[in-house]
Structures are given as structure tokens and as C-alpha cells.
Amino acid sequence: MQTRSFERRIAVLLLIAAMAFSPRIPIPIAVPGRRFDLRVQDIILVAVLSFWLLYLFVRPRIYLTELFTSFGIYTAIVVLTSAIAMMTLELSSIRTVLYFSKEVEYFLVFLFVANWIASEPDLRLASFFLLVTGSLNAVWIGLQIVTSQFRPLFLVRAELPSGVPHYTNLLDSYGPHLMGEASPLATGGFFMLITLLSMAFFVFSQGIYRRCLYGALCVTFFAALAASFSRVALLSTGIGITLLFILINLKKKFKLICLLLIVLTVALLVASDLGFLVAKGRVSLAGLERRIVEQAQEIWQPLLHEVFDRIFLGYGKGSLGYLGALKATEAHNHYLRVLIESGLLGLIAFLWLLVMIIFVSARVLKKSQLRISRIVSSATLCATAGLCVGALFHDVFVPVTLNENWWVLIGLTAAAHKIENKVLQYE
């Protein structure tokens, strides 16, 4: 039993590490309108799920969680609308399958974590390891700022055949990057999750030394987040931190300490070389207003015009940026993206899935007795709320690094719910 528990812990940690550090590996496979990238976690997940499938033949027991029904309904609608689109429109089946399989992969990551985290030590270890991966990526962010050389540490370049998009912005873009990812939203989104998790550790931990440690991590992760230039990630983090303070019944003095921590973080950013964020206008009110107006006129209005032609059927998964009428590669509003791809019923099902994630997280936070359960559930709840707001301005549920780690947090929360039930049974 102990050996099996050790193997499960190692498998979960390997998967988390791969998600935090794995680069994109371009594969010379022809996919209409996009590039095919493989990641280390894809390989690890296939290997782990294959082993898990063999284990289920011997001991057929799987914890499907309360999210299985809502995700299943959303998936069924996506499959149906995409199948109709492939038959009635010129939608590429290969492209659709790749986009759809990535969302299924996210849920498999969730199921894997929810099932293989089986005890309180497992939960503490996986949660703390997320902070470790965040710390290593934050160190890499700092090195890039010091050297003024912005690039991923792990970078795979490959010669691709003609006709396959290269997307140089996936290898190099503005601002510092994660060890394996160059996307500003992926970088900012990753540190949004880690910042909220470290804030939850800070709020719920006891002892001055632990709180000093987690407070320092909060400052470090938020600085790395701000350096990503991702306005959506900054907005989502602000929503998450605000919600955390509302949900937690803190003493007045401790609230002031938390507020002081945020003020010191902002002061650190303004006083440091990262103060150029405001100078560039990316986080100024004028810059934000101008960007929203541009998105509304150039992206949202043309896409909304196309939506009404297929309001119930949608255009299928992966249709955005591929079919002739849907020229924009990003909707810059994830709800609009789901509406375009899966129709009105798909959007309702997707919203229900988000509501269920929030509901489960809130219930674990309210009823949990273990401190680590309150930590992961509050971080999941606040991160999900932040992403729901951020989804109004960007396709936040698309970037792989962000969403894989978000589903890991959801999986830890589901595991915490299972562990809490075991604790109640033994009482």
C-alpha cells in the first residue's frame, strides 16, 4: 500500500513539473491553419492513464466527482455541434479533433489528480510542489529581467515543412517568459494561480515564520505576474484576492497586514524597473479603454454578426480563425468563443460547468476541517472567479499552461472533498 502511494505521489509530481516547465515541441504534422505541438505532459499523461486503465481492470473503482455530469453534457454538445458543422461546413475534422481533445485532456488531468491524491500528506505535498514550480519559474523571470534577454529556458526549434504555420510569437514575445512557454497570457495566468495559492497559504497558515515565507512568495509571484504584461491576468488576480478577503473571516488587524502586503507589492513594482508597465500604457485606464473599444469594433461586432446565423448549431470546435467568415483567431471573450463554436446550448453547458466548479470549491471551503483543504479550495474558488471575469476580455480557457494548472487545482479541491469525507467517517 505504501509503495502504491509513493508511486502515485511521484506520478502527480511529475505531471505538475511537466506542466510548469515543458516546452512546445513542434511536430511536422499537417493540421489546417495551425501548428501541431507536443508537450512532455502529453506523453506522461498517456503513460499514466494507460497504467491507470490496467489498474482499473483489476480494481474497477474510479472517483468521477460531481463535475463529471456537467462536463459530460458540455462535451456531448460540443461533439454534436462539431459533427454537424463538419458535415455542413468546410470544417477540418483533424483541426476539430485536436481542439476538442485538448479540452478532454484537461478533464483527464483533473480526474487523475482527484483520484491519485488520496490522503492529507498527498494533498499538502502536491500543493506545496505547485509553489516550488512557481518559485523556479519566478527565478527564471528575475534572471531575464536582470539580463534583459527574454526567452524560455527550454526552447525547441524544428524545421517544419512548407505550409505549416510557424507562429514565431509562440517562441518569442514581449516580456519575460516561463521556463517552457513564451505566451504573455500563459505566463501571467500561471502566476495568477500560484499567487492566489500562496496568498491562501499565507491566510490560513499559523506561525510568524510560515506567514513571512508565504508573504515573501506572494510578493515574488505577484511581481513575476506583473512583469508578464498580461492585463487579463492582473485583473483576474485582483478579483481573486478581493474575493479571498471577502470570504475569509479575518480579524481586523490581520486584514490590515494583508492590505499592507499588497501595498508593499505594488510599491515594489512601481519603484523597480517594472514600473515601465504604466509608462507603456498597458495598465493605464486610457490604454484599457482604447483596447476594449478596439476589440468591440474589430472583433466582437463582426463575430456577433456571424453568430446569429447559427445561434443553436454553432460553427464547430476549432472554427474560429479557420472558416472564411470567422477571420479572428481569438474572440477576446471566451463566452463569445464558446457561443460561436458550440451554439447557445454549448454556452449554457459551459456556464453550468463553471458554476459547478465554484459550487464544489465553496462547499469544500465551508465544510472542511483540514487546513490544507481550505487552502486549495479557496485558491480554486478565487482563481475560477477571476478567470470568469477575465474571460470577458480574452480566451482565458484556451492557453495550455494556464488551464492545465487550473484543472490541477480543481482536482486537488475534489481530492480534498474526498479526504474530508474520510475524516468525517473516522470521527
Q: In the predicted model, is pLDDT for residue 201 greater than 50?
A: yes
Q: What span, in angstroms and rounded, lies between the C-alpha atoms of 115 and 332?
A: 34
Count CB atoms within 10 A of the CB of residue 147.
10
Q: In the predicted model, is pLDDT for residue 169 greater than 70?
A: no
Give the per-residue pLDDT at 24.
Answer: 82
Q: What span, in angstroms and rounded, lies between the C-alpha atoms of 117 and 236?
A: 27
Give the per-residue pLDDT at 324.
Answer: 73
Give the per-residue pLDDT at 1.
Answer: 47
DSSP secondary structure string for all residues of 199-262: HHHHHH--SHHHHHHHHHHHHHHHHHHHHTT-HHHHHHHHHHHHHHHHHS---HHHHHHHHHHH
Across the range 228-246, mean pLDDT stands at 88
Give the per-residue pLDDT at 253.
Answer: 60
Q: Which of 43-52, 66-75, 386-395, 414-423 has the lowest mean pLDDT?
A: 43-52
How sure is the predictor about 77, in pLDDT bands with cuts at 50, 70 and 90? very high
Q: What span, in angstroms and rounded, lies between the C-alpha atoms of 409 and 386?
A: 14
Find which of 196-210, 220-234, 393-407 is predicted with most confidence, using mean pLDDT: 393-407
Give the per-residue pLDDT at 126.
Answer: 96
Find which of 200-204, 269-273, 419-423 is predicted with most confidence, using mean pLDDT: 200-204
Q: Which residue has the higher pLDDT, 182 or 386?
A: 386
Give the per-residue pLDDT at 289.
Answer: 65
Across the range 415-421, mean pLDDT stands at 92
Evaluate whether 363 touches 91 at the Cβ level (below 8 Å). Answer: no
User: Position of cell 488531468?
Assistant: 109
Q: Which residue has the higher pLDDT, 346 or 147?
A: 346
307: CB partners within 8 A, 6+ apart = 336, 339, 340
pLDDT tens digits, one per residue of 283-327: 556 666 677 777 777 788 888 888 888 899 899 998 888 877 777
Q: What span, in angstroms and rounded, lies between the C-alpha atoms of 45 and 42?
A: 5
Find which of 120-124, 172-176, 179-183 is predicted with most confidence, using mean pLDDT: 120-124
Q: Which of 110-114, 164-168, 307-311 has the lowest mean pLDDT?
A: 164-168
What mean pLDDT is reported for the chain? 84
Q: What span, in angstroms and rounded, lies between the C-alpha atoms of 196 and 244?
A: 9
